[in-house]
Every structure is written in C-alpha cells, then in structure tokens.
C-alpha cells in the first residue's frame, strides 16, 4: 500500500518516466488482488500517467488496454471512472492512426462503453465521464471501420435515442462553453451521430469513409432501424429549441442585440449548435436513405411542418441545411411530398427567401422578414466569440478560426434551384398556389369581413346572427374535418383577424380605452358572444378534446408557436458580486449597477444642474425611485408658501418615503437582495436607506399615545426591522384613510414631478431602468454589445420638470360617465356585460404592434378564454333572450348545461417554457429584471402560462427570490429551526405562543404583531412541547374552523347545514356547512347590529381573516376554509352579477334569473307594441301572477334588510319587478357586502398587496390557499411515500395500511392527513408536493404490537406504525389514534 501511494505521488510529477519504466503494467498486473481502496490508489497512478501521454514515439501503454477494458466491468463507480479516464486519454493519443484505433476495438471496449452508457445500467458514472465516453466512441467511429460496424450491430441508436429524450434547454443555458472539451452530452451525441452517417466529400473522402458507406448500402435494415430511432428525437429536440428562442445574451460573456424589428431576434447560445447538429444529422439521414426507405422513415414525423418551422429562423446555416433537406426529399419523393410542402408553407417560405418584398405581414406573416443575416458586423462579432457553425461538429479541432463556407449567394442560389426545378410555374399565381382548404378558409374570412361592413338596420340583427352562426359553423366543420388544416393554412387564411374584428365589433384595435355609445357596443358584443358560446359550448355528445372550442384553441396555439418571437434573455457570465448603488438609496447590492450621468434638459430653467458626473444606479430601480433621489438635489425654486430652498430641501429629505408609488410592485424587489454581510454603512445612512424603499414596500400608519400618527415601513424581504418616524397628523390624515382600505397605498398626489429621458425617449414609469435600457437596445438598429460593456458604458438620463395637471378622480369620472350615458333601465344589462369593455380596453403587450398576427391570436385566445370562463353567463343570457322573444315557453328550459373546456387547454407550452427559463436565470432577481413581455402577458393573458409557472412568478413578484427559493425547502427545514436562527435564505422564524381555547384571540394578537413582518411564523401551544411545522399547520386549520362557526355574523346563514358530525372530532361541531361554499352575509347600510352581533365586530373578523389568508399564502401554509367561487372572485377584484348568485345560493339565483326572463319578455312585448291577453299570461311566474307571490321589498332570507323605502316599492308587482331584481342583486353582491370585502382586503394588504393574486382563477386561488383535495390511487401512494427502518413497499403491514387509506371515507381521510401532517388537506400539487415526503417506519415496542398505537412526528410527516397482526386490528388502532390523538402535541 505504501509503495503504491509513493508511486502515485511520483506519477503526478514524473508521468513520462513512470510510463517508460513500465509502471502501468506493473500496477495493473496485480490490481485484482488488492482491496477496493488500494485499487483506487493504483488506478490513480495510471490516470496520472495517461493524462500526460507523449504525442509521438512508442506506445508502451497499448499492452494495458485489455486489462483496462476488463476493469470497466467493475462495480465500484470511482474505479470505473478512473479506468474510463485512462481509456479516453489513450483514445485521444491514438486517434490519428486507424490501425491503433482498430487495436482498441479488439478488446470488447465498445461493448463495455455502450453498456455503461445505457441509462438502465447498474454502473453509473459522473456527467463529465459519461460525456467523455461518448467522445471516445466518436473518435473510434471516426477512424475505425470496425468500431463503426460494431456500433450499428450493438443497436447504438436505441441508447442514443434515450439520451436525446433527456435533453432540456437548461443544457444550452447553463454552460458558458460550447465547443471545448467540456461540451454538453447532447452535443457529443450529435457528433457521434454525424460520424455514424458518413458522406463522402470529393477528395476529402478516404477508404474508411468509403467502407462505411458501402456497409450502410449493404445493410439498409440497420440504417432504417437507426433512422426510425433517431429522426423523431432529432425533430423533437429541434422543436424544443425553437419553442424557447434564446435571445440577446451569448456565451463567453457577450451578447448580440440584433433586433430590427423586434421579431428579428438572434437565436444564440449552445442551443443553436444543438439545432444545427440535429439538422445536419437529418440531412445525412435523408441523403443516405433510398426512396422506399425514406417514405417509411418520414412517416414517423411531419417533416414538411418541421421544415416550415426551420424556415422562420434567421441563421443562414440553418436555412441552408433546411433547403438541402427539402431538395433531397423533393428529388427522391417529389410526387409524395410536393403537395404537403405547399400545404405546410415550405414552398411559400422558399419563395419568401428570394422575394422578401412579396412577403408582407398581411399576406404571409409566417415568413415575413426571414432573409438570412449576412451582415459583416454579425460575422465579425460571432467570429470573436465562437467557431462558425460550419465546423461545429468536426472531430478534428482547428487551431485557427477558419472562414465560413457560406457566402451571400449560397442560400439564395439553392432556393432558386429548388423553385425552378420542383415547383410548377402556375404555383406562383396567388390563386392557383393555394390549397383548396386555404381557398375555402379565405372565402369564410371574406364573408365575415362583409358582415362587418354590412350596415345593420332595425330588421337585420337576427339575420346577422344567423349568418354569423352559419359562417362559424362552416369554419368549425373545416377545421375539424377529415383533411387536416395545417398551421400555415390557418394563419394565411386571415380567419383569426376576421373573427376578432367581427367578435369585438372593431373595438380591440382602438387606441382609446373608453368607448362612445357604450350601451350600443355592449349590446352588439353581448349578442355576438352569445352566438359564439352557443356554437362552441353546446356540444354534449362529443369528447371535450374534439369539441369546436378545443379544436380552435389547438389551432390558435399552433399558430402562436409559429409566429410569436418573445425573447428569453439569459445572463451568461453573471456572477454575484458586491457593488454600491448610489441611486436611489445608497446601499450595497449583489449585482452590477448602471453608470448614469444625469443632465438637465435643454431649456429647463426651473431645475438646476446635477453637480456630480457619473453615478451608479440600481438597475431594478423605478423612475419614481430615481426621481426621489434627484428632486431634492436639483430643486431650486422657492415653494409657494415662501419657504427657502434650504428649508424645502431639508423638509423633502426628511420625507424620502413620501414619493409617488404608482410603479409596478416589481420595482421594489431588489430591496431584499442587499448583501447581509455589508454592515459597514453608517447608522444614519442605513436609516435613510431603509426609509427609501421601493414602491412595493407598504407604508402603514397607526395612532400613537401622544396623538401623533406613526408611520413605519414594512420590513424588507430579508425580514429586517422596519424603521419608524414621526409625522404631524395633518400631513397623513388623508393618507391614513386610503391605506386602510387599499393595497396600493399610493399618495393622494401621485403625479410625477420629473420627466426622465434616456437618449431622447421618455422613461416608462411602470418599468425598471434595466427594462428600459434593455428594451431600447432591443429596438436599436444592429447594435452589438458585450455583457461587460452593458454595465461599463455610461448612459445619459435627461431630466425636466413635469407639467402639473389636475386629474379627475377616475372612479368619480366613471360614475358620472355611466350616469350620463346609460339610462337607469339598462344599467343591469350593462353590468352583466361589463367584462366585455374591460376585455377590449386592456393592453396585451407593448412590444407587439396591433397589426401583428400574434396580437390577433393573443386577443382571440383571450376572448375564447373569457367565453369559456363565462359560459354559464353567456348561455343563460341566450336562453333568457330566447324566452323573451318567444322561442322558449317554459321557465324550466332556462336551465343550461355548460360543457366548458379544461383551463389547461389555454396554456401555451411554448410561452410557459420561456417564462420558466427566464425565471431560472440567475439575474432574474425580481420581475423588474425580466423582459417586458413577461410582466405584460402575465397581467393581460395569465391563462397562457401554467399554474406552476404563475405560482413561481407570483412568489417572485410578491415576495422576492428568497421566498421563492425558501418555498421549496421551508417545510423540510421547519423541524430543525429555532426561534432566533434565521433560515439559509435570510428569513428569520418567529415563534408565537397560542392558547387552544382562545384560537381567534391568539390569531388576532399574532397578526397585530407580525402581519407586516416578512419572517416565517411558527406556532407552539401553551403547555405543549411540540413546535414547528405540524403545530403551525394545525393552528391554521383551527383558525379556519373558528371562522366557519355560526354566530359570527360573517356568512350567509344556512340553518339546515348546521350539523354536528359524528365522524369528525368534537371541535368541528357547530361549523357551518354549505356545499356551495361560504359567501359574506349581507348587512344593511343602516344597521349596526343584528341578533346581538355588532357590525363593527364583523368587520374586525374580516380584517383578521384577510390577514390570516395572506399570511398563509405568504408562508406556504394550507387553510381548511371552503370559500365559494363568488367570494374568490371578489378577492381577485372581479365584478359579480346576477349570474353569480346561483354559484352559492342556487335557489335564489335560479328564481332571480326566471324573474329576469319575465322582465325581458315584458320589455320585448312592449317594444313590439303587443296588446294581447294571451301573451300577458306568459308574464306569469309558473302560472302565478307576480302580485300573487306577495313579495315585499326586503332581501330574501333577511326580513330586516329593507331594499327600498320608496312609495312604489312596497309590494313587488310586474311593473317594479325589474327594480326588485336589481335591488336584490345589489344588496346580495354589492352594497350589502362591500364593507366586509373592503375590510378583508385591508387586512390582506397589510401582509402583501392583494393585486398580486389577480393572475389566478378562482379555482387556482382555492388550490393555492387550500391545497389539494384529491383521491389517491394505490400506485400513487407507493410512488410518493417513503418506507424505512424495517418497512419496504412489499411489507404486509404497509400493504394493509395502503388498502385501509384507500378504503377511508372522505372525513376519515381528512382526519388521517391532519393526524400525520397537521393539516387535513395536501399542499398544491398533492401528495407529490408534500415536503418532507411522507415516511412510514416500523414502531418497535417491548410489548405486543397489537396493544400499541401509531404515533407521528408532524414536522417531518413521519408515521411510526407498529406491525399489527391483521388489517382489521390496524384499522381499529389507526382510527382510534386519528380521532383521539388530535388536539395536542407531545413527545411520542
């Protein structure tokens, strides 16, 4: 052992001498007789020698090859990796000689390597070694025909297929190196595939290449098997790369900004190499395949559609390969693929390459502007940082950078050749060149345009609707017909734009957000949306995936993937490094800062010059924050009340927080990223820094004992203590009233005082400085800039004084406009259709032009999602209208069966992956560090992104990256935390003592003290030893149940559901049970108390509930509170209407809808001047006159709630029925609950701004708050439960337990979950998301196991289960434990 250790040390310094002395064989001859530890030392010696093999001269290491090949079969991973390293180095030394490579292949080396490469192999090696072994096969197959033949015979394609299937885009994002020895594994696989498909190239071909080609020609079955395995995976990988267009930042600490227009974004980074490699292999595969084989091969993938996608890229190398593939396919199989090339748009793409002026955004939006980028600046920039793609997969690296093989004419010449030889001249005629489907769709599109332009008279609306329905029906039949419609045909037909234009009545293209004649617009919109809903949602006899709406959504998603080009901006080369940001608050940050020179605008006399030259500015700061820093230093004029400049400056510097805060909340995220180690700031400076937080940090006020108002700032994301300052009450009185009920906490006067300009363009106040600079660079003309230069260059920001303008109160303006433009008789209808106006007034993405096809697709998807979400609303409107017009006679026929499509149908996998990719980037420290499109699309079209992606974005926007990282590990770390020890993410944990018999009182005290704190809250119960995750989760469950008890005056009382369940613990008795969920109880504005309950107390309960809900979401806790869907809509800031009542009170909602149908019929009869006693009978409610119902103007179920005191509102009759409906709806959904909802929001906003939740739907918010309530399959239990310490998945007690769990009733399952985890529901994501993983271990005892009870450690989700003798005994003991073991935490 000592000799080997000495030899190992010598081999480090003198490897050549050891080699010449025969040390390799001396070590290897006896290695099998050593222990594992000695063998490792011996192989380390061989590794040291092989790493320094001489490039020339004799090769004494050759005799060691058989021994090394045998050792590859060893079971020890470290040993195998050492052997593999030796063989990799030997192959590098021998790769210049075919004879020496043949020698390597004689000893079963290839068999051993392919066995290790198999993903199911028992022998696992590290990623670098795995990549090195693939590289070894590359060298062998390149120079050895034997190796080439052996790999085919060993079915290497199956193994490589599995490797490619694991590819994900993070490979291309994470590695800063592309073509050196540390290439990622997919790049190595593509090298191997290129070597396994040899193509002779004139004089460069040698005998080995010719032998390989002859072998494939003689064995077409092997080539076909190879192609069937590889081709689908290559197309999948390439398509995945096109899904996420990696833009802007290139490797080697540089990036290319080449975006004019914005759609032209360079696809750079490692992924473009992978894409080029895939296309290169496909090209060789097509070249080597004969016609009959190629037909079978191309059946595995839609190659024309794939090529059409490649033609939307900008790189000339990719375009050239795509053209070569297209030419070879047309040469061999022109009769088979010519029509599909036309159908999928390949022909039009080739034509667009030659005549880009012919390809306009309107006619050919898919291929507009796809000219290859040949600019010299791009070439020079690319050559400085990376090798040309032409040489990316050469096995022999070049010492110098060779020139590109392509020139300006190569691509165009090949495109011209294909067009001339394979496409008939008549195809160039715009009509004849279209497929029949495309012509039909264009005809339908034109018919819709004619409907839009047709004047609508009094007698034509019905005809319009019938024509619209007919055209829509034909479009759907065509889209869902036997012959598929390609994405190209769908886009080129213009159907999307025509549908949007007709459906929105032209509103979605208008710039102004207010519409003249709003009632007329909404009336038209309502009818058109009803027709749309009737066609798309009335199919009940077909599967959801085949429904018209699903088919249209799928087409739109495919079109969106083809057209959109939103950039992902990775920050290769970014490393966390301390820097000091002078602006806006003078603090250390862990990322680079911009260098900015502030200059007074030309002609500006009110403000002075800024004295300093260049300042460092936090890139995530907003315009408001910059203004807050600049204003005191450049303000020179005297104030209106005669204060001096010095006094004004002193006053303003003492009020750094009183700045406009109307920017996005994302601007303030960077405040949480201060380096916790930087404690050298002076105390006063740190105080100022804390006070000048960004806009997202909330300001709160409370009355002090001295009568003054104390304002204190929320803690930062790190949980540091907030600073407090005293201000006179006069200056904050108005602010206090606003903050108490608003989450925005904006100042009364939020108008900007400065106008800031960057290079002549005014800064958008909703963006961070980073986003502004990034957007301007993206829009610049061919500007190339390195990552380092981005931060080193000096930006000039010009400032001017903003022109003061008095702005009307928008709410008051809206109310006045409504009163002046809408009569009282139609207010209800407008409210019911209000979501239309908001839909068309919203802004999708500022980076998109409204004439862009992508804009049309996004808007149509938004409309379809709204139709799907409001399907009950729209279908009910249609039924009521049919009843009013006599199409329906029976009120029972008003019932609608809605067949909505699942919400995930609207999710764009392409955009979701882009967002996920952006959030994974190390520089995405806040939403202000993301491209602008991310924030805008999340706000306007959140349905495009998966729930998981939006959840991550929500946590980043609301809490910052520390909370985002902590969320995944907080549950596992909870058990080990203590009161004063902060978590790894910098968030301290705060313990709070709780009394079980005073849960609500304890919750109130907890929220009073800690609602605004950013630390994690944990609970311990009085006189109990348990603390941590389990008790905390149980506390939130207990609080949830307390809020559901009767007598609080919070919820609509349903006395029939007041039960005491025998199956649940006693503490659950008295809980209000409503199968449709809880909704606030209406309180009359004139009533202060009811049945001894004070309304002021009710408001306090709602404030507390808001705090609890927000804190649970912030800390990732699960609540057990069944809110109704309508209440979730209120939380999300959505308006409620008559149609929402049925969701929480079906009987009342159904009755009001029937009343509304009678009112509408009465209005219809009056409009056509019908006086007929028979028809008047139709105005009865189920054969009873309205007057005979003896309804008075009180709220149903609440006799003390008087709806109206007017003289004509005593009893309900036909003439005032409409008023009655409006008053009941208003009392139920608006006036009667408005104060409670505002109280809830005010409590919520004390924790974080409730507006962050607006990106979720009602169902998703319930999932976020209350977790999952799913049923578990046996396989799922096995997959997500860990068995340890005496138990395995096949242990009889475990099998019995899993069967018992599956047999549990719903209440028993909830009780079991609460017993094990502390909460009766699983977190979002279900059992798979439970962290720590549910673990079941064997409980040992000295007594008989049947007498023992199971016990748990809830903080670790750890169940100790005795090995009971039978399933019945286990179930008995388990039920006893989960029933009687609730309500306390003690040592187990």
For residue 538, the model assigns a pLDDT of 67
- In whole angstroms, what is the distance from residue 709 CA to residue 730 CA? 9
Spacing of C-alpha 1143 from chain mean position: 29
Distance between CA atoms of residues 48 and 10, nearest Å? 9
What pLDDT is attached to residue 758?
Answer: 92
Which strands make up the sheet holding 1358-1361, listed edge to edge?
A: 1281-1284, 1334-1338, 1358-1361, 1351-1353
- pLDDT at position 718 is 32
Taking the CA of residue 826 as centre, how many other CA atoms within 13 Å lie in the half-sphere pointing to its CB? Answer: 16
1038 contacts 1120 by C-beta, under 8 angstroms: no
Structural contact between residues 194 and 394, judged by C-beta atoms closer than 8 angstroms: no
1205-1251, pLDDT tens digit by residue? 888 788 999 999 999 999 999 999 999 999 999 999 999 999 999 99
Higher-scoring residue by pLDDT: 820, 1019: 1019
Q: How far is CA 1103 from CA 46, 773, 1004, 1094, in A?
A: 72, 41, 10, 15
Average pLDDT over every residue of 630-649: 59
Q: What is the pLDDT of residue 673?
A: 37
- Measured CA to CA, the distance from residue 545 to residue 557 in angstroms comes to 14
Alpha-carbon span 71 to 80, nearest angstrom: 7
User: At what angle are helices 518-537 and 461-479 packed, to 10 degrees?
Assistant: 40
Residue 1321 has pLDDT above 80, yes or no: yes
Rounded average pLDDT over 929-957: 93
Output the CA torsion sign for 727, 730, 731, 732. positive
> Could you report the per-residue pLDDT of 462-497, keeping only the tens digit for each?
777 788 888 888 988 888 888 899 999 999 999 999
The H-or-E segment that residue 143 falls in is helix 127-143
Residue 1041, pLDDT above cutoff 50: yes
Mean pLDDT value across residues 44-70: 85
Q: What is the mean pLDDT of residues 289-312?
A: 88
| pLDDT at residue 638 is higher than 80 | no
Say whether pLDDT at 19 is over 50.
yes
pLDDT at 1111 over 90: yes
Taking the C-alpha atoms of residue 1059 and residue 1072, their distance in angstroms, rounded to an integer, is 7
Task: Count CB atoms within 10 A of the CB of residue 1177.
Answer: 10
**Exposure of 1182 by Cβ count < 10 A (0-12 exposed, 13-18 middle, 19+ buried)?**
exposed
Q: What is the pLDDT of residue 539?
A: 64
Phi, psi of 797 (to 5 degrees): -110, 120
- Cα separation, 1238 vs 1236, in Å, equals 5
Q: At what angle do helices 961-974 and 947-959 cross, to 10 degrees?
A: 100
The Cα-based distances of 1334 to 353, 875, 1163 in angstroms read: 58, 45, 62
pLDDT digits (tens, 9 = 90+) for 1141-1183: 999 999 999 999 999 999 999 988 888 876 655 555 578 898 8
DSSP classification of residue 1045: B
**What tokens appear for 817 in the block?**
């406009």
3-state secondary structure (DSSP) of residue 946 = coil
pLDDT at 824 over 70: no
**How many residues belong to the chain?**
1388
Give the residue-averaged pLDDT of 1094-1105: 95
Burial string for 388-422 (b: 16+ CB within 10 Å, else e) reads: bbebbbeeeeeeeeeebebeeebbbebbeebbeeb
Closest Cα to residue 52, out of 91, 24, 80, 11?
11
| Predicted pLDDT of residue 379 | 36
pTM given for the model: 0.79
Residue 1253 has what DSSP assignment? Answer: G
8 A C-beta contact, residue 871 and residue 581: no
Residue 944 pLDDT grade (very low, low, confident, very high; cuts 50, 70, 90): very high
DSSP string, 320-366: HHHHHHHHHHHHHHHHHHHHHHHHTTHHHHHHHHH-GGG--TTT-TT
The encoded tokens of residue 1154 equal 């029937």
Q: What is the pLDDT of residue 915?
A: 92
Taking the C-alpha atoms of residue 50 and residue 90, their distance in angstroms, rounded to an integer, is 7
pLDDT at position 924 is 82
Q: Could you check whether the bond before residue 584 is cis, i.e. omega within 30 degrees of 0? A: yes
Q: What is the pLDDT of residue 1351?
A: 87
CB 915 within 8 A of CB 567: no
**Concatenated DSSP letters for 1148-1216?**
HHHHHHHHHHHHHHHHHHHHTT---HHHHHTTSBTTB-GGGG--BSEETTEEEEE----TT-SB--TTT
Structural tokens at position 841: 């007034």
Let me know: does 987 contact 672? Beta carbons within 8 Å.
no
Of 577, 641, 631, which is closest to residue 606 (Cα–Cα)? Answer: 631
How buried is residue 1004: exposed, middle or buried, by Cβ count under 10 Å (0-12/13-18/19+)? middle
Question: Residue 1080 forms beta bridges with which residues?
Answer: 1051
> Measuring CA to CA, how many Å separate 499 from each of 442, 496, 508, 857, 926?
12, 5, 11, 10, 37
**CA atoms within 13 Å, Cβ hemisphere of 346:** 29
| Of the listed ranges 382-396, 1081-1095, 1233-1247, 1347-1361, the one predicted with least confidence | 382-396
Greatest extent of the chain over all pairs of C-alpha atoms, in Å: 120
Q: What burial class does residue 1118 get, using C-beta atoms within 10 Å of its C-beta: 0-12 exposed, 13-18 middle, 19+ buried?
A: buried
Give me the residue label for tokens 């019932």.
895
How many angstroms separate the CA atoms of 1081 and 1198, rounded? 10
- Phi-psi category of residue 603: left, alpha or beta, with phi > 0 → left and psi -120 to 50 → alpha: left
pLDDT band at 562 (very low <50, low <70, confident <90, very high): confident
The pLDDT value recorded for residue 1051 is: 93
Amino acid 736: pLDDT? 36
- In the structure encoding, which two tokens stand for residue 1151, read together? 């009755």
Most confident of 32-46, 366-380, 632-646, 689-703: 32-46
Averaged pLDDT score across all residues of the chain: 77
Is the pLDDT at 657 greater than 60? The verdict is no
Going by DSSP bridges, is the β-strand pair 989-994/1016-1021 parallel, antiparallel, or unpaired? parallel
In this model, does residue 680 exceed pLDDT 50?
Answer: no
Residue 598: half-sphere exposure toward Cβ, Cα within 13 Å: 25
pLDDT of 397-456, one tens digit each?
A: 555 667 777 876 888 899 999 988 988 877 766 666 688 899 999 999 999 888 877 765
End-to-end CA distance of the chain: 50
pLDDT for the residue numbered 678: 35
How far apart CA 245 and CA 240 sit, in angstroms, is 9
User: What is the structure's pLDDT at 1237?
Assistant: 97
Query: pLDDT tens digits, residue range 909-926?
Result: 989 988 998 898 878 878
Question: Which residues touch 1289 (CB under 8 Å, ≥6 apart)?
Answer: 1278, 1283
Q: Could you give the residue numbers annotated as active site?
A: 1355
Cα separation, 235 vs 279, whole angstroms: 8
pLDDT band at 558 (very low <50, low <70, confident <90, very high): very high
Those residues whose C-beta lies under 8 Å from the C-beta of residue 799, and which sit 6 or more positions away, are 598, 599, 600, 601, 604, 607, 610, 630, 634, 754, 755, 756, 757
């Amino acid at each position: 052992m000592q000799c080997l250790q000495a030899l190992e040390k010598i081999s480090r310094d003198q490897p050549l001498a050891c080699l010449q002395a025969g040390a390799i064989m001396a070590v290897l001859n006896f290695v099998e007789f050593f222990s594992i530890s000695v063998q490792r030392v011996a192989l380390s010696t061989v590794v040291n020698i092989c790493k320094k093999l001489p490039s020339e001269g004799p090769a004494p290491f050759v005799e060691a090859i058989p021994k090394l090949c045998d050792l590859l079969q060893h079971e020890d991973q470290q040993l195998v990796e050492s052997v593999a390293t030796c063989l990799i180095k030997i192959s590098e030394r021998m790769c210049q000689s075919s004879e020496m490579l043949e020698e390597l292949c004689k000893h079963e080396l290839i068999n051993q390597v392919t066995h290790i490469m198999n993903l199911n192999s028992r022998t696992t090696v590290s990623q670098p070694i795995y990549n090195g072994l693939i590289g070894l096969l590359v060298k062998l197959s390149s120079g050895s025909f034997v190796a080439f033949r052996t790999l085919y015979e060993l079915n290497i394609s199956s193994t490589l297929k599995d490797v490619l299937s694991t590819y994900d885009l993070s490979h291309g994002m994470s590695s800063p190196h592309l073509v050196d020895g540390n290439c990622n594994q997919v790049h190595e696989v593509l090298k191997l595939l290129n070597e396994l498909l040899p193509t002779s190239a004139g004089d460069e071909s040698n005998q080995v290449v010719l032998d390989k080609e002859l072998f494939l020609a003689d064995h077409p079955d092997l080539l076909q098997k190879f192609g069937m395995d590889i081709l689908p995976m290559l197309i999948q990988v390439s398509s995945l790369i096109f899904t996420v267009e990696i833009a802007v930042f290139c490797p080697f600490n540089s990036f290319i900004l080449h975006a004019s227009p914005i759609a032209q974004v360079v696809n750079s980074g490692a992924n473009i190499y992978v894409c080029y490699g895939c296309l290169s292999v496909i090209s060789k595969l097509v070249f080597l395949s004969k016609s009959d084989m190629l037909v079978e091969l191309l059946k595995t993938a839609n190659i024309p559609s794939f090529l059409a996608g490649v033609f939307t890229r900008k790189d000339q190398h990719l375009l050239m390969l795509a053209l070569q593939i297209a030419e070879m396919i047309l040469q061999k199989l022109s009769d088979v693929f010519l029509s599909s090339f036309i159908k999928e748009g390949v022909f039009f793409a080739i034509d667009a390459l030659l005549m880009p002026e012919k390809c306009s955004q309107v006619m050919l939006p898919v291929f507009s502007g796809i000219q290859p980028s040949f600019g010299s600046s791009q070439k020079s920039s690319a050559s400085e940082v990376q090798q040309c793609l032409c040489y990316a997969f050469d096995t022999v690296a070049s010492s110098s950078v060779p020139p590109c093989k392509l020139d300006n004419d190569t691509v165009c010449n090949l495109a011209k050749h294909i067009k001339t030889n394979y496409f008939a001249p008549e195809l160039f005629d715009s009509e004849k060149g279209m497929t029949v489907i495309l012509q039909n769709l264009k005809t339908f599109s034109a018919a819709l345009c004619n409907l839009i332009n047709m004047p609508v008279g009094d007698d034509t609306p019905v005809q319009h609707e019938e024509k619209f329905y007919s055209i829509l029906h034909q479009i759907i039949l065509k889209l869902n017909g036997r012959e598929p419609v390609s994405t190209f045909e769908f886009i080129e037909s213009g159907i999307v734009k025509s549908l949007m234009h007709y459906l929105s009545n032209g509103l979605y293209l208008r710039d102004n957000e207010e519409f003249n004649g709003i009632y007329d617009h909404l009336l038209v919109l309502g009818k058109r949306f009803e027709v749309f809903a009737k066609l798309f949602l009335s199919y009940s006899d077909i599967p959801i995936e085949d429904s018209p709406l699903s088919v249209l959504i799928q087409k739109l998603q495919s079109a969106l993937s083809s057209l959109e080009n939103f950039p992902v901006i990775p920050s290769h080369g970014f490393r966390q490094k301390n820097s000091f940001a002078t602006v806006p608050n003078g603090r250390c940050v862990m990322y680079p800062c911009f260098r900015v020179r502030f200059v007074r605008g030309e002609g500006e006399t009110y403000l002075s010059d800024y004295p300093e030259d260049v300042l460092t500015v936090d890139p995530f700061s907003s315009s408001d924050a910059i203004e807050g820093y600049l204003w005191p230093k450049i303000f020179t004029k005297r104030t209106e009340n005669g204060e001096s400049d010095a006094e004004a400056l002193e006053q303003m510097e003492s009020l750094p927080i009183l700045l406009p805060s109307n920017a996005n909340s994302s601007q303030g995220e960077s405040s949480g990223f201060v380096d916790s180690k930087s404690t050298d700031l002076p105390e006063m400076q740190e105080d100022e820094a804390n006070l000048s937080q960004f806009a997202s940090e909330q300001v709160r006020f409370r009355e002090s004992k001295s009568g003054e108002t104390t304002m204190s700032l929320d803690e930062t994301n790190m949980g540091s203590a907030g600073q407090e300052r005293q201000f006179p009450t006069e200056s904050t009185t108005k602010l206090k009233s606003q903050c108490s009920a608003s989450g925005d906490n904006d100042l009364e006067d939020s108008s900007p005082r400065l106008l800031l300009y960057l290079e002549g363009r005014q800064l958008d106040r909703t963006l961070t400085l980073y986003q502004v600079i990034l957007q301007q660079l993206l829009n610049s003309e061919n500007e190339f800039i390195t990552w380092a230069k981005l931060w080193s260059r000096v930006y000039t920001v010009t400032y001017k004084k903003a022109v003061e303008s008095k702005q009307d109160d928008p709410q008051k303006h809206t109310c006045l406009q409504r009163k002046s433009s809408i009569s009282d008789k139609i207010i209800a209808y407008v409210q019911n259709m209000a979501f239309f106006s908001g839909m068309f007034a919203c802004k999708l993405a500022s980076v998109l032009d409204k004439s862009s096809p992508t804009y049309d697709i996004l808007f149509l998807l938004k409309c379809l999602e709204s139709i799907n979400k409001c399907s009950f609303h729209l279908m009910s409107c249609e039924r009521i209208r049919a009843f009013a017009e006599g199409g329906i006679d029976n009120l029972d026929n008003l019932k609608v069966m809605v067949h909505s499509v699942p919400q995930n149908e609207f999710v764009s996998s392409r955009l979701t992956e882009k967002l996920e990719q952006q959030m994974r980037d190390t520089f995405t420290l806040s939403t202000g560090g993301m491209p602008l499109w991310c924030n805008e699309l999340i706000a306007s079209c959140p349905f495009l992104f998966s729930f998981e992606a939006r959840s991550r974005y929500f946590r980043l926007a609301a809490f910052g990256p520390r909370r985002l990282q902590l969320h995944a590990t907080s549950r596992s770390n909870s058990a080990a935390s203590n009161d004063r020890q902060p978590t790894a993410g910098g968030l301290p944990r705060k313990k709070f003592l709780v009394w079980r018999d005073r849960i609500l009182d304890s919750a109130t005290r907890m929220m009073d003290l800690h609602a605004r704190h950013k630390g994690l809250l944990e609970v311990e119960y009085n006189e109990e030893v348990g603390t941590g995750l389990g008790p905390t989760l149980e506390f939130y469950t207990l609080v949830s149940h307390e809020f559901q008890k009767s007598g609080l005056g919070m919820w609509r009382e349903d006395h029939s559901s007041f039960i005491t369940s025998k199956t649940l613990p006693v503490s659950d008795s008295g809980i209000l049970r409503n199968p449709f969920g809880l909704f606030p109880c209406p309180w009359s504005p004139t009533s202060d108390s009811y049945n001894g309950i004070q309304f002021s107390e009710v408001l306090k309960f709602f404030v507390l509930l808001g705090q609890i809900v927000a804190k649970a979401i912030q800390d990732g806790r699960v609540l057990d509170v069944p809110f109704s869907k309508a209440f979730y809509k209120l939380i999300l800031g959505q308006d409620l209407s008559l149609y929402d009542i049925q969701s929480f009170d079906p009987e009342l909602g159904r009755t009001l809808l029937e009343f509304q149908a009678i009112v509408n019929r009465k209005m219809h009869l009056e409009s056509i001047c019908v006086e007929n006693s028979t028809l008047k009978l139709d105005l009865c409610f189920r054969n009873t006159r309205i007057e005979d119902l003896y309804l008075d103007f009180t709220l149903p179920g609440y006799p003390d709630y008087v709806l109206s005191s007017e003289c004509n509102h005593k009893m309900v009759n036909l003439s005032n029925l409409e008023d009655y409906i409006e008053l009941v709806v208003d009392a139920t959904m608006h006036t009667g609950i408005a104060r409670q909802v505002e109280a809830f929001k005010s409590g919520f906003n004390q924790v974080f701004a409730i507006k962050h939740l607006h990106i979720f739907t009602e169902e998703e918010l319930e999932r976020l708050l209350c977790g999952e309530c799913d049923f578990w399959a046996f396989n799922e239990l096995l997959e997500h439960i860990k068995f340890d310490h005496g138990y395995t998945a096949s242990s009889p007690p475990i099998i019995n337990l899993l069967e018992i769990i599956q047999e549990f009733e719903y209440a028993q399952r909830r009780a079991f979950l609460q017993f094990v985890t502390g909460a009766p529901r699983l977190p979002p994501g279900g059992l798979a998301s439970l962290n720590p993983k549910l673990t079941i271990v064997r409980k040992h005892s000295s007594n008989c196991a049947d007498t023992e009870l199971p016990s748990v450690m809830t903080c670790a989700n750890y169940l100790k289960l005795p090995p009971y003798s039978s399933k019945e005994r286990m179930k008995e003991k388990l039920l006893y434990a989960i029933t009687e073991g609730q309500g306390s935490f003690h040592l187990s």
